[in-house]
């Protein structure tokens, strides 16, 4: 029985795609367990380079079953676009290898609208989280508020329209207070019609399929997105994403028991990056930071947003090791440090309470104290 979790040990962009790719040569099933199109995994297999935001990183491996787990939030337009792009590139059998959990939540146009309106309003007061504006936060909010719409509901569009109308009624005050106008439920459903026709055949019980695969001795990989310090519980809250990115989230997001997981592999770069706002104790705003950005190509794989860069932070890594139960670490991008006269590593923090070696996540809540 073998299920391995691959988890980002920093603020995302650790090079998980590359490590996942090495592992998937041996994996029969790969399950992505959290997040949505806020991720951007760059894949290169046999010279074929592709950025995927929703599909698991194993999509280019013809023998691998790819599962989008119920912990994910799925933008149907993005997903169908990715499937079509892969089919165009010759991966004709992709849909037969793909399983979309019927319990994942749908990102709908109003989620993206709210994310954008909020970020724009927050930017005006310098309080923006710097989200990817893909609707991630509002979709997870709908999930916990119990007004979300799940992929399985694409099977019955008449019912879906009623569910969307109820969600829009709940969001109306927010949208209007931010200066937006509430979209029409019927128009949303009409736009969903062709997408539903493509996605409904892919729907299934991802939990059952994943558990069966593990029980029958298949090698299963549980692929994380974002990173530990962006996790909604364990990250630098509130400058986090809205999902459970840590290894514990793999059990929930894939729908398996935690005892089914045999090991956890953390991925870290030899230095640190983060995208968006929030604390970053080892950040470098100088020529060395620019070296890391340029040599490491630290620009968002989807948006090309420049990433913030800094030295490797060992207390943060140690923290990630603890909250994930990391059994092994993969270190990426060591070569980016080549040519630097001096390489520094953070081993402790000086805080108002003295020197500490555990990540003072509470102090970090206020970036001015970082």
Q: Tell me which of 21, 41, 234, 313 is the catalytic residue.
A: 41
Residue span binding ligand IMP (CB under 6 A) among the ranges 55-63, 152-160, 208-216, 234-242: 234-242
Show contacts with ligand IMP in window 75-134 (CB under 6 A): 129-132, 134
Report in angstroms the alpha-carbon separations of 13 from 69, 294, 334: 20, 15, 14
Nearer to ligand IMP, 12 or 360 (CB): 12
Q: Is 111 a catalytic residue?
A: no
Binding mask 11-30 for ligand IMP (x = CB under 6 A): xxx-----------------
Q: Is 34 in the site for ligand IMP (CB under 6 A)?
A: no
Q: Which two tokens stand for residue 204?
A: 């299934």
Q: Is 275 in the site for ligand IMP (CB under 6 A)?
A: yes
Q: How far is the CB of 235 from ligand IMP (least distance, A)?
A: 8
Q: How far is the CB of 201 from ligand IMP (least distance, A)?
A: 28
Q: What share of the chain is helix, strand, coil (3-state, %, to 5)?
A: 40, 20, 40
Q: How far is the CB of 237 from ligand IMP (least distance, A)?
A: 11
Binding mask 320-349 for ligand IMP (x = CB under 6 A): ------------------------------
**Cα-only R_g, the chain:** 20
Q: Are 245 and 225 in contact (CB under 8 A)?
A: yes
Q: How far is the CB of 301 from ligand IMP (least distance, A)?
A: 8
Q: Which two tokens stand for residue 63?
A: 């023998």
Q: Out of 54, 189, 230, 256, name the contact with ligand IMP by CB under 6 A.
A: 230
CA-to-CA distance for 18 and 139, rounded, in angstroms?
A: 28
Q: Is 236 in the site for ligand IMP (CB under 6 A)?
A: no
Please give the full DSSP string across 319-368, using - where no structure is assigned: HHHHHHT-SEEEEE-GGGGTT-S---EE--EEETTEEESS--TTGGGSGG
Q: Residue-wise over 217-238: b if at least 16 C-beta within 10 A, else e?
A: ebbbbbbbbbbbbbbbebbbbe
Q: Are 17 and 234 in contact (CB under 8 A)?
A: no
Q: Is 137 in the site for ligand IMP (CB under 6 A)?
A: yes
Nearer to ligand IMP, 136 or 326 (CB): 136
Alpha-carbon torsion angle 129, 131, 135, 141, nearest 10: -30
Nearer to ligand IMP, 16 or 219 (CB): 16
Please give the full DSSP string across 97-147, using - where no structure is assigned: HEEEETTSEEP-HHHHHHHHHHHHHHHHTT------SSSHHHHHHHHHHT-
CA-to-CA distance for 320 and 172, rounded, in angstroms?
A: 39
Q: How far is the CB of 354 from ligand IMP (least distance, A)?
A: 30
Q: How far is the CB of 47 from ligand IMP (least distance, A)?
A: 24
Q: Is 291 a catalytic residue?
A: no
Q: Is 57 in the site for ligand IMP (CB under 6 A)?
A: no
Binding residues (CB under 6 A) for ligand IMP: these are 11-13, 38-39, 129-132, 134, 136-137, 226, 230, 239, 241-242, 275-276
- Residues with a known catalytic role: 13, 41
């Amino acid at each position: 029985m073998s299920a391995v979790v691959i988890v980002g040990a920093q603020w995302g962009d650790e090079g998980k795609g590359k490590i996942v790719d090495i592992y998937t040569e041996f994996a029969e099933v790969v399950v992505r367990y959290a997040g949505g199109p806020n991720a951007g995994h760059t894949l290169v297999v046999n010279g074929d380079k592709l950025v995927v935001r929703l599909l698991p990183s194993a999509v280019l491996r013809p023998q691998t079953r790819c599962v989008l787990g119920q912990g994910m939030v799925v933008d149907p337009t993005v997903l169908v676009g990715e499937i079509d792009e892969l089919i165009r590139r010759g991966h004709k059998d992709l849909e037969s290898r793909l399983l979309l959990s019927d319990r994942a939540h749908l990102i709908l146009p109003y989620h993206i609208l709210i994310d954008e309106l909020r970020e724009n309003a927050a930017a005006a007061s310098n309080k923006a989280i710097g989200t990817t504006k893909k609707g991630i936060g509002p979709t997870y909010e709908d999930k916990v508020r119990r007004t979300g719409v799940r992929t399985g509901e694409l099977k019955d569009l008449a019912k879906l329209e009623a569910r969307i109308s109820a969600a829009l009624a709940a969001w109306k005050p927010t949208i209007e207070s931010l200066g937006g106008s509430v979209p029409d439920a019927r128009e949303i459903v009409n736009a969903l019609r062709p997408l539903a026709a493509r996605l409904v055949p892919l729907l299934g019980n991802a939990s059952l399929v994943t558990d069966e695969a593990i029980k029958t001795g298949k090698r299963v990989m549980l692929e994380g997105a974002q990173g530990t310090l962006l996790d909604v519980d364990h990250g630098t809250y509130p400058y986090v994403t809205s999902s459970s990115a840590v290894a514990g989230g793999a059990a929930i997001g894939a729908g398996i028991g935690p005892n089914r997981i045999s090991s956890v592999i953390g991925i870290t770069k030899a230095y640190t990056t983060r995208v968006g706002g929030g604390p970053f104790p080892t950040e470098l705003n100088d020529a060395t930071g620019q070296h890391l950005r340029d040599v490491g190509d630290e620009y968002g794989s989807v948006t090309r947003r420049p990433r913030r860069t800094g030295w490797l932070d060992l207390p943060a890594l140690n923290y990630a090791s603890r909250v994930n139960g990391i059994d092994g670490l993969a270190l990426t991008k060591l070569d980016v440090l080549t040519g630097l006269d001096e390489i520094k590593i953070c081993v402790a923090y000086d805080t108002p309470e003295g020197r500490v070696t555990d990540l003072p996540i509470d102090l970090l809540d206020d970036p001015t104290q970082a």
